[in-house]
Every structure is written in C-alpha cells, then in structure tokens.
A and B are shown apart, each in its own frame.
Chain A
Amino acid sequence: MRNQRPRVPAAALLALSCLTGCSTTTFKVGMIVDPPTSAVFVNGTRVGQGARRVYDIDFGPHERVCVQATAAGYEPMRELLTRQQVIDQVEKYGDFKWYLKQEK
C-alpha cells in the first residue's frame, strides 16, 4: 500500500501563508497632529482628526500611501510613505508627530 501524504495540511499551510502575506499590507500607525483640530487624510479620504489616534494604514497593491493633514489657518502637510518608512517609524520612533505651521 502506498503511503500517501495527506493533502489538507498542505492546503491549510498555503492558505495560512497567503493570509500572512495579505496581512502585511495593513499597518497600525499612531499619529498625533498639532493643532488637534486638524483633519487627517489617508489616500485622499478623511480618516480622523489630529488628537492622537491609531489608524489602519492599508497599502493594498500600492507602493506608497499618501498621508495629509490640514487645519484652517495652518499650512497643510503631505507625506508619501513607503512600507519601509512606516515600519521604521513604528519600530524606532513610535507615533508620527506632525506640527502644522501657522499661515503668515
């Protein structure tokens, strides 16, 4: 009798590796923007306000994400971040901290 290896564990392993691969597109990123009334946008969509919040930053199929912040009376900020920049920030420095400059 041939000793057949069960196929289910291999399929499960493959599914698990896909899930692991997919999960790396989203990162939890803490962000503080001053002034706290600032609106925060990720990829052009408003996601919250300046007081500290943790955002789910999803790269999806893209190489960079665009994070922007704006408040009336202040100069807006825009940063295009790669996955590596996000990972480095979170691991080495923690939250992103942005201070918007007041308009002259």
Chain B
Amino acid sequence: MLSAYLYRVRKSLIRAPGLMVLYAFFLGYILFMSLVVTSLNEGAVRNQDAVVGLIKLVWFGLGNLVLGNTCTKGSYAFSLTDVNFHFAGPFTTKFNLIIAVINSLPMTLIYMYFSSMLMPFASNFGFTSKDAILMVCGGFVVVLVCSIIGFLVKVTLDKLEKYKKVPMAIIFGAMALALAGCALMLLSENDWSIKSAFGQDIDILISRIGNNPIIDFFPIVGWPGLIVKGIYLSDVIFIAIGAVLSIGTIVAVAYIFTKANYDYYETAIEGATRIAEITEAKKANVFGNSDINTGKIVVGKEKIGGGRGASAIFYRHLLENKRRSHFSFININALIYKAIVVAYLFFMSKSHIIDDGSLANLAYALGFGLTMNIFVFSGSKTLTELSKPYIFLIPDTAQKKLFASVFADFPEMAFDALVMMIICMVFAPGARTVPFGIAIFLIVASFNFLCQTISILCVRILSRAGAFIINLLRTILDMAVVGFGALVGFVVMSIVDGGIEIVFFSASGVLILASFLALLASRNIIDKTEMR
C-alpha cells in the first residue's frame, strides 16, 4: 500500500514542480518572517501579555474556522482520484485516513502562511522569533487536529440529515458568544464605557481578550493556548491543564478513528466531488473566483426577463447574480474582500501605523482594496462563458456576444466602487468631499473594468498558453496601465495645480480608455478563440 502511494506521490511531484516551488515559497516566507520578526521593530517594548494573547487568538480563530468548515462541508483532503483508486482499491480505511492527513498538510501550510503575515504587526509589541516559531508550529497542529475532529463530526452527523448544520451553528455561535463575553468583561473593567474599553491600543485589546479565561478554557481550540500561557508565566498548573486537555483530545480522536472503524468514504466522496467542481470552474476561469459557486443556490421568483440574441446573455448573467446574492449588483466575493479591507484598516489604525484622519490612509485603503479586486474581477464571467458551448453557438455577432457578457459585470463593479468609496471616506475623513467621492468611485470602477478587459485580452492573445503565462501577462499589463495612469494623473495635477482627486480623475480616464482599447482588441475573441 505504502509503496504504491509513495510511487504516486513521487510521480506527481516530478510532474508538478511549480507546486513544489509554491510550497517552498510558503515555507520560506514563514521561516523568513519568523527569523526576521525580532529585527523588524527593535525599539518596540515587549508586551508579553499581548504576545501570548495574539498567539492564542490566532489559534482560536483558525481552529474554529477549520472546525466549523470541516464539520459542515467535510474534508477537502481527498481528491476524486483518491476516491477511484484508493477507496475502491486494496487500501484500508485507516491507511486512507493517513493519506488524508498528509493531503491536508499543504492547506495547513497555507493557513500558517497567512498567519505569518501578522508578524510585522506583532513586532510592534515585541514579538520575537521564538514567539513566531511557537505560533506557527502550534498553529499547524491546531489546524490539523481541528480538521480531523471536524471530519469526524461530519461523518457522524451525515447519517442525521436534518442536524447537518447544527455543529457549525454551535461552533460559530459559541465563538461569537465567547468574544461577546470577553467584550462584556472588558466593558465592565472600564465602567461600561465603550470609548475607554475599545479605544485602547490594539496590543492592550489583544492582551485583554486573548488572555481572558473564556478563551483559555474554550473547548479544544483554547486548550493549547493554556500551555503557552503557562510557559510564558512559568505556571505549571496552566501547562498541566492545557497539556492534559490537548493531548487527551488528540488521543481520544486517534482512538475513535482507529477503534470505531468509521465508515467515512461517503462523506469523503462529497468533499472530493466539491473539489473537482471547484477545480473545473477554476480551470475555465483562468484566474480569480468571481463566478465559482460552492454555496447553496435558492430559486426564487426571479426570471430572465429580457433579451433577444446576444442580449439574452446579459440578462442571464443578471439572473445568475441574483441567484447568488439576492441582488443582481452584489458580488459576494467582492463584499467579503471589502470586509477584509475594513478589518485591515481597523488594525492599521489601532496599531497607529496609519493616523486617524490622514489623507494618506486613502493610499492604504485603495492599495489593499484594489489589489484584492484583482482576484474578484479578473476571473470575469466572460472567461467562464468560454468554457461552455452556448456563447459560441448563439446566432449573433462575436462583438455583441462579448459586450453583452462584459457589460453584465457593470452593476457589480459599480456597487463595489460605491462600497470602496464609503470605506475610504470612513478611514480618510479628509476625503469626505463630493469631488473626492466621485474620484474614488471612478478610480475603483475603472480599475475593476480594467482587470476584466485585460484578462480577456490576455486570453485572446495567448489562448493556447497555460494559466500561469496568461496570469503573468495580465499582471504585467495591469501594473503597466495603472502605473501609466498614475503618471498621467500626477502630470495633470502639476499642470492644473489641483489636489490628489485630480490624479484619480485623470488616472481613471486612462484606465477606462485602456479598458475599451483592450475590449476593442479582443472583440473577435469568440470567433477566434477555442472553447476552454
């Protein structure tokens, strides 16, 4: 069994060196950040409580996220190939479970990669390499154990159809209650004053919440934190309680899986099928995830409502948007990314990396927000269309079909620009003027449009190339156009002697012009490109 598995792994790794490079990059980044974190902010005064609090909160958040997702959606550790060859082959269920654990390692590595992005921020309160290595290694174990426990819960509850979503509700509900409890305790310590409780510096907030007994004793994900707390406070009791509870959990899970002979194949197949669907959708989309459906779609009273010939494509897209988010102008992924932008800006402002009220905050907000939008709007619906035959078959001109598909993204792009405008105005009060508002709206909307059209152009030019080459060209072109737009903007600003909004107005003009040129150059894509 093992030799067959190792043979397959060896062959896969040889055939996919890019993947190895990617994992090496993640690992290298984690190691690099862990090693340099001490020197990132050498003058910082160490806040031990904040360090411990941050480690515990990272484990708490990651562990609950993984637990909640796995117990609802099942494990993503098996592929359909595993199902076909391993499940039906002469491999024991226990051996296949070990494979699942091994298959989970890359995803766990990615979680740790994202966690390590917190290190520059943590260096502000004296985070050291030792802390970093502890956070990463401990987090690795927490994520791995939580994914196995979540899978165990999922397998058990799969037999009880109507209780399938109960564990996720319990886990996220308990998480919310725990955080609410911490907030209440913080308020009570500060005479119920919201301003004095939450107006404190971020390191103090982290130390208070992270070291709260509710987090300490939160089942499963809180227990390893007790060990850390005990080590830093040299408190043997904390170490003992944490160790007994954490090791006990791992032993119990291992025992249940080895002795109970869980029949988990059906549950694993569900996860494997979902992975296959996502992979197929991603293949077609080249880059980005704006059109991948993994959630439940509810059919309401909405209808296609209009269209003849190519314009039917436009109306169909609006209907599909409505199905995904209840509104034809809302892109759920874009909204999620905006929430991440808000969280990022909140942390930046709480850590005094950006100053309240500074116009420079706009650069942070737009820089981060627009970068995330590349992931949403580059994988446009038009590229997804190219994976189905209908856009090729519909009896209308290639240009009309392309434009009908492209313009269907406009409501989402405009709404996203509106949300981004509000975020910018909240975090940069200096931008709370009508011209600034319009300028921000235009720059975001035009950038979203540019992402979409440049992606289409790249597929038009390099239709036979792989996703990596297409994405590389797309990134270079995006950056070149944005850079040129900024340059033009600054030149215009210096000529008319105006404010920064002039830069945005001018740059958005360049971006819109470039987008239409890209669209013009790709106008025959449906006639000249093959179904992907």
Query: Is B truly associated with A?
Result: no
Instruction: Please report B residues at the A interface, Cβ cutoff 8 Å.
Output: none
